[in-house]
Amino acid sequence: MAVMRFLALGLALLLGGGLAWAGAIETREFDDPVLEQRYHSLTASLRCPLCQNQAIDDSDAPVSADMRERVYRLLLDGRADIEILNHMTERFGDYVLYNPRLEGRTYLLWGLPVALLGVGGLLVVLVVRARRNASAQRLSAAERERLDALINRERSQ
Amino acid sequence: MKRRLILLVPLLGFLVLSIFLYRGLSLDPAQRDSALLARDFPAFEASTLEDPERRVDRSLLEGQVTLVNVWGEWCPTCKQEMPQLLDLAERGIRLVGIDYKDTREQGLEFLEEFGNPFEVNIFDPEGELGFELGVYGAPETFLVDRDGIIRYHHTGYITPQDVREVILPEVQKWQ
């Protein structure tokens, strides 16, 4: 019972906190639902330059408000997503991209997980193969003879 | 024996990762290069804080090496930084201020109280020029060479030590 009450209290605090936080971020009106969708995905993928790990759609830093305003204006202006992202990185640097671009200095970043997966797969194949060979070799001539004898006895019964 | 050594590979991987993460603990995320380094100071058109009638643009920053300091009356660190900026101005370095997200009264009050090392102040109440410069807080300081190209960017407080060890050498480098 006490646990339930504790959980309910925690949930209430969580929800209440969420609401209070949401109050700091302005809402925007869009006539076009597609534009609204793009606005939300863009502001969720841009990182606040002042805060360390917050998207601008979730940050009440003044610079985040300015950036949201700019995204909004550029969207109404008919700009493409890539143009808007470029607009931001030209001013605030690659730091603001939550998804780093694939380019010379990010090959390692993007390539490492794939390479590690490949190495892992290769290891599994090698280990399995080595085990299979090892267990097959372990039967000596005498053991094999005895195995054959056992199999034959089973068959003849 | 050789096979056993393979078992150490994950441990090795873990150690390498630990080194990177440990180093990450002591990195300052504010110390990153401005996206505008080696690029032209952005074009702008604004009035000055001192005189609403006087219009200035990026030609203001051509012809000599200039330190451009972004400040605001609302910014406590900017107040602490003023003695260092006054020191730089006394050494004959040209300083231009950007009064960022202030009202005119607040900006002028600030200069009266904490001193004015600036030849002139660009008035940027909406933070438009600040946005073009990728400013995300104040104070921030840009070194602009005689061709109007941004050569150095300092985020945050300039300590007296920074003046001696970073700012002055950078200014000399581009003089």
- Average pLDDT per 10 consecutive residues for chain A, totaling 157 residues: 59 51 71 94 95 90 95 96 96 92 88 93 92 75 89 85
CA-CA-CA-CA torsion sign (B116, B121, B123, B128): negative
Residue A92 and residue A17 share a domain: yes
Helix (H) or strand (E) holding A52: none
Among positive and negative, which fits the CA dihedral A99, A77, B134, B136? negative
pLDDT for the residue B4: 82
d(CA A147, CA A24): 78
Does residue A37 sit in the same domain as residue A87? yes
CATH value at residue A38:
1.10.8.640
Does the beta-carbon distance from A63 to B135 stay under 8 Å? yes
What's the distance, Cα to Cα, between the start and end of chain A in Å? 66
Q: Given an 8 Å threshold on Cβ–Cβ distance, is B137 in contact with A92? A: no
Q: In chain A, how many domains are there?
A: 2
Q: Name the region of A39 (left: φ>0; alpha: ψ -120 to 50; beta: rest).
A: alpha
A91 closest CB neighbour out of B33, B101, B132: B132
Contacts of A55 (CB under 8 A, 6+ apart): A43, A44, A45, A46, A47, A48, A98
DSSP per position, A74-89: HHHTT--HHHHHHHHH
Residues in chain A with CB shorter than 8 Å from the CB of B128 are: none
pLDDT score of A24: 59
Q: Nearest 5 degrees, angle CA B73-CA B79-CA B84? A: 135
Interchain proximity B136–A94, CB inside 8 Å: no
Question: What ipTM score was computed for the predicted complex, to two decimals?
Answer: 0.86
Closest Cα to residue B139, out of B164, B167, B119? B167
Distance (Å) of CA B49 to CA A45, A155, B93, B141: 36, 104, 20, 18
Q: For residues A122 and A47, state if they share a domain.
A: no
Does residue A89 sit at the B interface (CB-CB below 8 Å)?
A: yes
- Cβ-contact B134, B55 below 8 angstroms: no
- Domain end, chosen from A73, A99, A125, is at A99
Q: Same domain for A8 and A82?
A: yes
**Chain B positions with Cβ closer than 8 Å to A:** 29, 32-36, 101, 127, 131-137
Q: Which of A61, A66, A90 sits opposite B35 (nearest CB)?
A: A90
A101 touches chain B (CB under 8 A): no
| Together in a domain, A73 and A137 | no
Amino acid B28: pLDDT: 79
Rg (CA), chain A: 30
Q: For A123, which residue in chain B has the nearest alpha carbon?
A: B6
B149: domain CATH number is 3.40.30.10
A31 and A47 together in one domain = yes
Q: Are residues A125 and A57 in the same domain?
A: no
Q: Are residues A89 and A114 in the same domain?
A: no
Q: Six-digit token pair at B91?
A: 């050494």
Specify the residue for token string 């505008």: B36
* A70–B137 C-beta distance less than 8 A: no
Cβ-based contacts of B134 with chain A (< 8 Å): 49, 91-93
Asked if A63's CB is within 8 angstroms of B137's CB, the reply is: yes
Question: Are residues A20 and A71 located together in one domain of the fold?
Answer: yes
**Count of beta carbons in the 10 Å neighbourhood of residue A134:** 9
Where chain B has pLDDT below 50, the residues are none
Q: What is the extent of the structural domain holding A121?
A: 106-156
Nearest-CA distance from A135 to chain B in Å? 16
Q: How far is B95 from chain A (nearest CA, A)?
A: 22
A53 touches B at CB < 8 Å: no
User: What is the extent of the structural domain holding B57?
Assistant: 37-174
Q: What is the pLDDT of residue B64?
A: 94
Distance from CA of A49 to the nearest CA of B (A): 6
Report the C-alpha gap between A96 and A83 in whole angstroms.
14
The number of domains in chain B is: 1
Residue A137 and residue A63 in one domain: no
Contact: B134, A94; criterion CB under 8 Å: no
For B136, the closest of A89, A90, A92 (CB atoms) is A92
User: Best of A91, A95, A108 to disrupt the B interface by mutation (most B CBs within 10 Å)?
Assistant: A91
Q: How many CB atoms lie within 10 A of CB B168?
A: 15
Is residue A94 domain-shared with residue A54, that is, in the same domain? yes
C-alpha to C-alpha distances, B63 to A51, B58, B93, B145, B171, nearest whole angstrom: 36, 11, 13, 8, 14
